[in-house]
Amino acid sequence: MYADLSVLGGDPLTDIKQAANVRSVVSNGRLFTVDDLLKPFAASSTGVTANRIVAPVPDHPSNAAFWWHDEHYVAHSRHACCTG
C-alpha cells in the first residue's frame, strides 16, 4: 500500500526528524492511523518466522576475507548510528 497523503506531527522543513513523525496516512481515499497500519503485525504472536522461500545464507570460510563480516566490526557498527 502506498500513501497518497501523509499527515505528520511536525514540520520536516525545520526539523528533518519530523518526516518520520507520521500521525496518519490517506491511501485510496481511506484514512489510516499508525495503529491501523500496525494492527496486522501485532496479531503475530510467534515473532519472526523462518523464510520458507529463500534458503538461509550458509556460513562460508571465504566470508572471513571481507571486513564487513568481522563480528567486531558488526557489533561496533550497531552502536555507531541511530542510537538515540
| The C-alpha cell that represents 48 in the structure block | 519472526
What average pLDDT does the segment 10-35 reach?
92
Grid cell of 78 as nine digits: 550497531
What would the grid cell of residue 10 be? Answer: 511536525
0.75 surpassed by pTM: no
Cα separation, 20 vs 9, whole angstroms = 9
| pLDDT of amino acid 13 | 93
Residue carrying the nine cell digits 518520520: 20
Q: What's the whole-number mean pLDDT along residues 2-8? A: 91
